Amino acid sequence: MHWIQKHILRQLATSDTLRYTDLRPDNVEGNLFMYHLNQLIADGFITKNDKNYHLSLSGKKYVSSMSLESGSVRLQPKIVVMFIAKNKDGKYLLFKWKRQPYQNLISFPFGKIHYGKPVLDLAHKELMWKSGLTGDLKYLGDVYVQTNENDEVVDHYLAHIFQVANIKGEIQSNGLQGKPFWGKIEDFQKDDLAPGFEDLVNIIENQNPPYLKEIITK
């Protein structure tokens, strides 16, 4: 996005409405400024009412992730619901991923929160989607997991951890993202497990809920 458009959005991010003269930087020629202002209107970020300009709903969504200092959109950690379940044989519900960045690695099943959707409703749907199972969900806590590779962040997510009780159904795989199965963690090598998974298991097995923890892996 051009710096003039970023400037306009930054101005409107802290004001209800502004006029043309309030938005235009002193060192920018009028036609050039008007071009970028009209571009933001065409893109649906700004609306005009008489002589006043204000953010549209799309504009408000955009600036909610924008830095007021630089005007750049910041990457945010994704939010997921993660499921902890054991069967009568003491095996965990595990998930072997097909997709990057965890391709062919094992973790607890989890699914991303969808924008604007209630968390608990989504959690029940994600449990069914990932495993074919249903059950009662009990909130245990939150864990941030940051995965790094060559000094760069590859993945960063906040997991709402739910314990699954009164499990019903048989494991079924939708085949798109990976395969759910019952297993014992000690049966796998470290290289079989997703980054931070052993630390996550330690938190779940040894911390009293509710907890808030952070895992940073290399």
- What residues pair up with 94 in beta bridges, in sequence order? 181
Residue 133: pLDDT band with limits 50, 70, 90? very high
Residue 73: inside a domain: no
Give the model's confidence band at 209: pLDDT under 50 very low, under 70 low, under 90 confident, else very high: very high
CA atoms of 149 and 13, how far apart (whole Å): 35
Question: Does 167 reside within a domain?
Answer: yes
Whether 119 is covered by a domain: the verdict is: yes
Q: How confident is the model at residue 204 (pLDDT cuts 50, 70, 90)?
A: very high
Name the band, by pLDDT with cuts 50, 70 and 90, for residue 175: confident
Domain boundary among 12, 40, 63: 63
pLDDT of residue 79: 95
Question: Please, are residues 192 and 106 in contact by the beta-carbon 8 Å criterion?
Answer: yes
Q: In terms of domains, do 7 and 31 share one? A: yes
- The confidence band for 115, taking pLDDT boundaries of 50, 70 and 90, is confident
Range of the domain at 22: 3-63
CATH code of residue 187:
3.90.79.10
Q: What percent of the chain is modeled with pLDDT above 90?
A: 77
Domain end point (choices 37, 63, 89): 63
Checking if the pLDDT of 174 tops 80, the result is: no
DSSP 61-122: HHHTTB-TTT-PBPP--EEEEEEE-B-TTS-EEEEEE-STTSTT-EE--EEEPPTT--HHHH
Would you call 21 helix, strand, or coil by DSSP? helix
What value does the mean pLDDT take over residues 58-84?
Answer: 88
Weakest mean pLDDT among 75-79, 92-96, 125-129: 75-79
Instruction: Give the separation between CA 115 and CA 73, rounded to whole angstroms.
Output: 17
Side chain identity at residue 100, one-letter code: Q
Same domain as 86, residue 54:
no
